[in-house]
A and B are shown apart, each in its own frame.
Chain A
């Protein structure tokens, strides 16, 4: 199951093609490419729990929850000093808060059984990008929350890992509304930029499977080999 954004729809389609039963849960805006399967406001813990329970009712027992806290609908490029307080809250704080509610919902869903949680974030937050201060804060806050949660829930058999993807896969091509990666970066070592249906989906599926049962709290950057600093 995936939550939130245009990337989620692509990811869901790819996972379905590989045989998974998937539902996209979240709110829809005009800039999203597809409507969620289960429209839901994930703005409170109670709402998130209700949304995931509705998904489980529709799909059957859920093994993996994929959380995508940032999307074009929560984005606005521009300099920090020009961002007003409401914009800061929407772009930097709300995605981390949504991640918390979704984690709590996943916990309620899994209860005492093992489960997999995959967080999808922009890799640009790990390396920095101009006009992306709020987005970087949001993604790094979510990643850090995921690590702390991984430590708490490990004994329950619940693993939480992050897949970091090129920023334009989450936000669309760079323009005045979407951030661009840093200038002067090396080209991807594999000779092309990863795509969602073939590359990102495969890694999300693997990280969300029992292949990763002994891995938790880590981040895998799927950028084709641009940054190799880990």
Chain B
């Protein structure tokens, strides 16, 4: 596996499945060595997929709500590969695709969303800044259409995904002097969570295919992952503070 990310090291949270796994595989395909930061054994499965194709990857058991775990994942990247060029915070609450009314959102569910998505982003940024500064690397926070246009079904998910966009804008300004670039990616991808949404919302599949100009929902590895790989590579060196929408053209408002 070789390409524009040869010699680069990319850490991806929540890379045990779905979009996170797709990002890990795509970056590996472009030549990067991968640190899969995931709390469960499916992180090792992502590693196996990378190494089976000739790439390099390690799995670090990592709960993104734990500062020691996140710092440990960054340390593992340095220990194994000697550098860190990209950090992609993709992990979300395991309740992300659960439909809930705003008036019924209780403290435990709310706290779970906040802890994984938002506090996890803070911990990833804080833990990785010094290493990213050395390589003039990139922090990518995965947001969502829910965080841009409002989500009727997923208000807590929408809130934290919106918050991440705010982080990206201000962090890009704050880290500019250090030449560390920051971006958000908003994907529309076929994942277990979307499959769950189809079950909750019959007709959603057909509606998405109708509203997406390209007529399909994106693939995590071949549609979403390459955009993240682009953001970590040199060709995106002047893209900063932005949200890249990767959804086949579904959302076309500024």
Contacts and interface: CB of A to CB of B under 8 A. Distances in A.
A72 interface: no
Given A100-B159, A143-B162, 6 more contacts: A45-B106, A125-B166, A145-B162, A148-B155, A148-B158, A149-B102
26 contacts: A81-B129, A83-B126, A89-B119, A92-B122, A93-B119, A97-B110, A100-B110, A124-B170, A125-B166, A132-B170, A140-B163, A140-B164, A141-B160, A143-B162, A144-B148, A144-B158, A144-B162, A144-B165, A145-B102, A145-B158, A147-B149, A147-B162, A148-B155, A148-B158, A149-B102, A152-B101
Interface residues of A, number: 51
B158 A136 contact: no
Given A92-B118, A144-B147, A153-B102, A138 B170 contact: no
B60 to A, nearest CB: 21
Contact of A107 (B103, B110, B167): B103
A56 B46 CA distance: 55
A89 B163 CA distance: 13
B244 to A, nearest CB: 16
Contact of B118 (A79, A108, A132, A137): A137
A107 B147 CA distance: 22
A144 B159 contact: yes
Interface in B87-103: 101-103
Contacts of B166: 125-126, 136-141
The 3 residue pairs across chains A and B that have the minimum distance between CB atoms? A144-B162, A140-B166, A147-B150
A107 B119 contact: no
B118 A93 contact: yes
A141 to B, nearest CB: 3
Contacts, number: 141
A217 interface: yes
Interface string B109-151: 0100010001100100110010000000000000000111111
A152 to B, nearest CB: 6
Interface string A106-127: 0110000000000000001111
A136 B155 contact: no
A137 B102 CA distance: 20
